[in-house]
Chains A and B, each alone.
Chain A
Amino acid sequence: NAGVMQNPRHLVRRRGQEARLRCSPMKGHSHVYWYRQLPEEGLKFMVYLQKENIIDESGMPKERFSAEFPKEGPSILRIQQVVRGDSAAYFCASSTQDQPQHFGDGTRLSIL
Chain B
Amino acid sequence: ELKVEQNPLFLSMQEEKNYTIYCNYSTTSDRLYWYRQDPGKSLESLFVLLSNGAVKQEGRLMASLDTKARLSTLHITAAVHDLSATYFCAVDISDQGGKLIFGQGTELSVKP
Contacts and interface: CB of A to CB of B under 8 A. Distances in A.
A42 B42 contact: no
B3 to A, nearest CB: 11
B88 A42 contact: yes
Contacts of B99: 33, 45, 48, 56, 58-59
A44 interface: yes
Given A41-B105, A42-B88, A103 B43 contact: yes
Contact of B97 (A59, A97, A106): A97
B2 to A, nearest CB: 10
Contact of B94 (A44, A56, A102, A106): A56
Chain B contact residues (Cβ within 8 angstroms of A): what range?
20 to 34
Contacts of B94: 48, 56
Contact of A41 (B41, B98, B104): B104
Interface in A38-75: 41-45, 48, 55-56, 58-59
B26 to A, nearest CB: 15
Interface in A7-53: 31, 33, 35, 41-45, 48
Contacts of A102: 45
A31 B4 CA distance: 23
B111 to A, nearest CB: 21
B88 A43 contact: yes
A57 to B, nearest CB: 10
Contacts of B41: 105
B33 A100 contact: yes
B102 A44 contact: yes
B55 interface: no
Interface of A: 31, 33, 35, 41-45, 48, 55-56, 58-59, 91, 95, 97-98, 100-106
23 contacts: A33-B98, A33-B99, A33-B100, A35-B102, A41-B104, A41-B105, A42-B102, A43-B43, A43-B102, A45-B101, A45-B102, A48-B94, A48-B99, A56-B94, A56-B99, A59-B99, A91-B42, A91-B43, A100-B45, A100-B48, A101-B33, A103-B44, A103-B45
